[in-house]
Amino acid sequence: ASMRENRIEKTKTVCTYCGVGCSFDVWTKDRQVLKVEPQSEAPANGISTCVKGKFGWEFVNSEERLTKPLIREGDAFREAEWEEAYDLIVNKFKEEKEKNGPDSLAFITSSKCTNEDSYVMQKLSRAVIGTNNVDNCSRYCQSPATMGLWRTVGYGGDSGSITDIEKAELVIITGSNTAEAHPVLATRVKRSQKLHGQKVIVADLRKHEMADRADRFVQPKAGSDLVWISAVTKYIIDQGWHDSEFLEEHVNGIDEYMESLAPYTLDYAEEVTGLTKEEMIEIATSIHEAETTCFLWAMGITQHGGGSDTSTAISNLMLVTGNYMKPGAGTYPLRGHNNVQGASDFGSMPDRFPGYEKVHDDAVRERYEKGWGVDLPAEPGLNNHEMVEAIHDGNLNMMYLKGEEMGIVDSNANYVQEALEKLDFFVVQDIFFSKTAEFADVVLPASPSFEKEGTFTNTERRFQRLYQVFDPLGDSKPDWKIIMEIANRLGGDWNFEHPSDIMDEAASLAPMFAGVSYDRLEGYDSLQWPVAEDGTDTPLLFKDRFPFPDGKAKLFPVEWTKPLEMGEEYDLHVNNGRMLEHFHEGNLTYKSEGITKKTPSVFLEVSPELAEERGLEDGTVVRLTSPYGNVKVPCLVTDRVKGKELYLPMNDSGEGAINYLTSSHADKDTDTPAYKEVSAKMEVLEPK
Ligand code: SF4
């Protein structure tokens, strides 16, 4: 081969954007990405990717990458060597722990990082500092779905594989902009609809692409989903269409649950949700007639004051109709980030060890104490939401946060930024100097997925390996290495030489991952948790029992929580979510020219009716104001939204960032912010 060919390399990686978990080969020459080539053996995506997986990689070589540690001096930062940064961090952490105890420190891991990065972050927090104050951004998105599933079926994960969704006779999609947020998964539904006559029902505020393609599209009022879902369940039971055999054999709590449904008549649901009785009867009939139903949902359900309860109602409906324990059926909360599933799986939660075992369970804690050779705290720690409150209250003084744009993506951004400002000492580890980094005392340069080895776990509980494509840029380092350096300077005795050592340790301690090892994840090989010691994995999550002592699931009664009202003055509801081309606040995608050329900025979707009433056209710049702050954005007139309903993609970290409008109101069971419960008033800025 010629010299030139020698420099062309092909490396298998996993997409760093969404939770679908597409994997593919990336062809490179030096530090240049030549092309992304999906392979048929890729389990989640086969030969498909979306625009982000294909073109969203220029950020890796962006001139804005952090390549040196930065240390604050007054209002500015100066470059430093790693040793100086480590010394400063270690001394500050030691001092704080001695003075105010370990619980005055907190740790936040990233859903962009690998399982191994998250594992070491929670180990640093628990084993070295001695606090359970550790969390990750699933607190911002799918914790309520996990809660709803824990309550009913015991595991907080998708019931089957992405390919199982293709097998369903009926797919119901609620509160999920699937075609834009999980594009390749949506492609599978579109294909099945076309080739196998799969029926698709979409319930959503907004007429997004999947709504357009659905066999039936219904538009419930904002925040009313629990009511129509419960009414459909009640109607099914009243008709005698429930699966008595399945309930008898596999489910507890039936009588109490049936009684709890009494208020959810079709009349009541019609009044609350705005759906007609006929629409609800049609949904119930479709479920009854289908052999298998998959229920897909996302942030439109979870980011509400009653997000956990609505997720519970979905699982109740699937239990009542016997839609578990078979391929093509069950519950599919669609995970947002590439590794938001894994960040929680690997123990970055204030009350759970890796594999979701509870920190206050003495037997479990003793196992970790033995494994790590230290005493561990038994009291659950603070979650992200509680951390912000604790800082405001003066009970939390130092924070170490990696790969998370907390100052923009947490709700009520002004309030969160005020908290970050109050911290005595704040370490931010990222690949770019983010908005959040502006509040830091030390900023550490990390490496993105292309510059490290590790594993991600996608929405279908699937472990996949990523291999290193490039060397870390400048002085940047993989997150796990940075965390290990800090842990060892604080008295830890960690000897991980490769992420596979970290996985081996996690597998030896967490029964859920007992059989996970890098050997079993070579190339495109993958495993879906739980994984038994002999390497047997679990594509279909529930085969003949649910993970409760008697093997039975539980029907869990829930009540509707009315959405937050911000007062009459704030007359427009601001729905929010993703758009196809950009990812979250956009710190990666806006630095990838292949993407910004197509979509340079966010826009506010307004309905033709509202445009007429307020004199808005495409490009009219408006200011939206809520009781918590304001944003400035250009309008796009579209019939995807109707009436006084607006849609603002979350993909902006400047004047258009949605979280300057959102409040601190949160799901009552998990503290997940109620991002979807936001109203605002509008002022036209230009042209007037
Ligand atoms: Fe990446 Fe998700 Fe697109 Fe797949 S669908 S290429 S995982 S962003």
Q: What is the DSSP string of 651-669?
A: --SSTT-GGGT--S-B-TT
The Cα 15–Cα 23 span in angstroms is 6
Residue 688 — pLDDT band, cuts 50, 70, 90?
A: low
Do the domain assignments include residue 162?
A: yes
Other Cβ atoms within 10 Å of 619 Cβ, number: 12
DSSP string over 91-107: HHHHHHHHHH-GGGEEE
Residue nearest to atom 6 of ligand 1 (CA): 53
pLDDT of residue 541: 95
Q: What is the CATH number of the domain that holds 30?
A: 2.20.25.90
Residues 158 and 282 in one domain: yes
Q: What is the CATH number of the domain that holds 247?
A: 3.40.228.10
When the pLDDT of each residue in the chain is averaged and rounded to a whole number, the result is: 94
Which of 313, 333, 353 is at the close of a domain? 333
> According to the per-residue pLDDT averaged within each range, which of 89-98, 565-574, 590-599 is highest?
89-98
Give the DSSP H/E element, type plus range, for residue 490: none
Cis ω before 687 (30° cut-off from 0): yes
Query: Using one digit for the tens of pLDDT, what is the confidence trace for 143-187?
Result: 899 999 999 999 998 999 999 999 999 999 999 999 888 988 999
Residue 685 — pLDDT band, cuts 50, 70, 90?
A: very high
- Region 444-451 average pLDDT: 97
The Cα 630–Cα 380 span in angstroms is 35
The Cα 460–Cα 463 span in angstroms is 9
The two three-digit tokens of residue 454, written as one number: 């590790």
- Region 659-683 average pLDDT: 92
- Alpha carbon 426 to chain centroid, angstroms: 24
What's the whole-model pTM score? Answer: 0.93
Distance of CA 53 from the midpoint of ligand 1 (Å): 5
Quote ipTM for the complex: 0.99
Q: What is the CATH number of the domain that holds 595?
A: 2.40.40.20
Q: In what order do the strands lie in the sheet with 398-402?
A: 76-79, 70-73, 442-445, 425-430, 398-402, 105-108, 134-135
- Region 642-671 average pLDDT: 89
The Cα 55–Cα 15 span in angstroms is 11
Residues 134 and 170 in one domain: no
Residues 314 and 431 in one domain: no
- Region 332-349 average pLDDT: 91
Q: What is the CATH number of the domain that holds 503?
A: 3.40.50.740
Contact between residue 599 and residue 586 where contact means Cβ atoms under 8 Å apart: no
The two three-digit tokens of residue 660, written as one number: 């300057």
User: Computed from CA positions of residues 428, 430, 436, 440, in that sequence, does the dihedral angle turn out positive or negative?
Assistant: positive
Residues 215 and 272 in one domain: yes
Out of 45, 579, 580, mutate this one to test ligand 1's pocket (max ligand atoms within 8 Å of CB): namely: 45
The Cα 38–Cα 187 span in angstroms is 15
Other Cβ atoms within 10 Å of 646 Cβ, number: 25
Do the domain assignments include residue 459?
A: no
pLDDT of residue 141: 77
Do the domain assignments include residue 463?
A: no
Residues 161 and 184 in one domain: yes
Do the domain assignments include residue 406?
A: yes
pLDDT of residue 2: 44
Residues 390 and 415 in one domain: yes
- Residue-number span of the structural domain to which 402 is assigned: 70-139+338-452+468-511
Q: List all residues 6 or more positions away from 189 whose beta carbon is below 8 Å from its beta carbon.
A: 165, 166, 171, 173, 178, 198, 200, 210
Q: In what order do the strands lie in the sheet with 32-38?
A: 8-14, 23-29, 32-38
pLDDT at position 5 over 80: no
Do the domain assignments include residue 229?
A: yes
- Region 39-55 average pLDDT: 92
pLDDT of residue 331: 97
Backbone φ, ψ for residue 649 (5° rounding): -60, 145
User: Which of 456-465, 518-527, 591-600, 642-651 has the weakest average pLDDT?
Assistant: 591-600
Q: What percent of the chain has pLDDT above 70?
A: 99
pLDDT of residue 649: 86
Out of 14, 16, 20, mutate this one to test ligand 1's pocket (max ligand atoms within 8 Å of CB): namely: 20
Q: Report which of 584, 624, 579, 623 is spatially closest to residue 408, judged by C-alpha positions.
A: 584
Contact between residue 21 and residue 459 where contact means Cβ atoms under 8 Å apart: yes
Residues 170 and 310 in one domain: yes
User: Which residues sit with their C-beta closer than 6 Å to ligand 1?
Assistant: 15, 17-18, 20-22, 45, 49-50, 52-53, 183-184
The Cα 198–Cα 144 span in angstroms is 28
Do the domain assignments include residue 678?
A: yes
DSSP string over 530-567: S--TTS---SSS-SS--SSTTS-EE-------PPP---
Residues 48 and 17 in one domain: yes
**CA angle (175 as vertex; 304, 568 as ends), nearest 5:** 50
Out of 14, 51, 184, mutate this one to test ligand 1's pocket (max ligand atoms within 8 Å of CB): namely: 184
- Region 105-134 average pLDDT: 97
Q: Quick one: which atom of ligand 1 is closest to the CA of 50?
A: 3
- Region 484-509 average pLDDT: 98
Query: Using one digit for the tens of pLDDT, what is the confidence trace for 581-638?
Result: 766 777 777 777 777 777 777 899 999 999 999 999 999 999 999 999 999 999 999 9
Residues 473 and 505 in one domain: yes
Bridge partners for 263 per DSSP:
none
User: Which of 233-242, 597-606, 640-649, 659-668 has the weakest average pLDDT?
Assistant: 597-606
Radius of gyration of the chain (CA): 24
pLDDT of residue 140: 80
Domain count, the chain: 4
Other Cβ atoms within 10 Å of 480 Cβ, number: 28
The two three-digit tokens of residue 59, written as one number: 């950020």
- Region 244-261 average pLDDT: 97
Q: Quick one: which atom of ligand 1 is closest to the CA of 49?
A: 6
User: Which of 4-8, 122-126, 295-299, 463-467 has the weakest average pLDDT?
Assistant: 4-8
Do the domain assignments include residue 552?
A: no
Residue nearest to atom 4 of ligand 1 (CA): 22
Distance of CA 337 from the midpoint of ligand 1 (Å): 10
Out of 111, 182, 189, mutate this one to test ligand 1's pocket (max ligand atoms within 8 Å of CB): namely: 182
Distance of CA 51 from the midpoint of ligand 1 (Å): 8
Residues 182 and 298 in one domain: yes
pLDDT at position 3 over 70: no
pLDDT at position 504 over 90: yes
Q: Quick one: which atom of ligand 1 is closest to the CA of 54?
A: 6
Contact between residue 654 and residue 277 where contact means Cβ atoms under 8 Å apart: no
Give the DSSP H/E element, type plus range, for residue 129: none
Query: Using one digit for the tens of pLDDT, what is the confidence trace for 345-371?
Result: 999 999 999 999 999 999 999 999 999
Q: Quick one: which atom of ligand 1 is closest to the CA of 182?
A: 5
Which of 333, 355, 390 is at the close of a domain? 333
Residues 122 and 182 in one domain: no
pLDDT at position 311 over 90: yes
Which of 317, 333, 349 is at the close of a domain? 333
Distance of CA 22 from the midpoint of ligand 1 (Å): 5
Distance of CA 524 from the midpoint of ligand 1 (Å): 16
Residues 169 and 26 in one domain: no
Do the domain assignments include residue 548?
A: no
Q: Quick one: which atom of ligand 1 is closest to the CA of 24?
A: 6
pLDDT at position 125 over 80: yes
Distance of CA 581 from the midpoint of ligand 1 (Å): 11
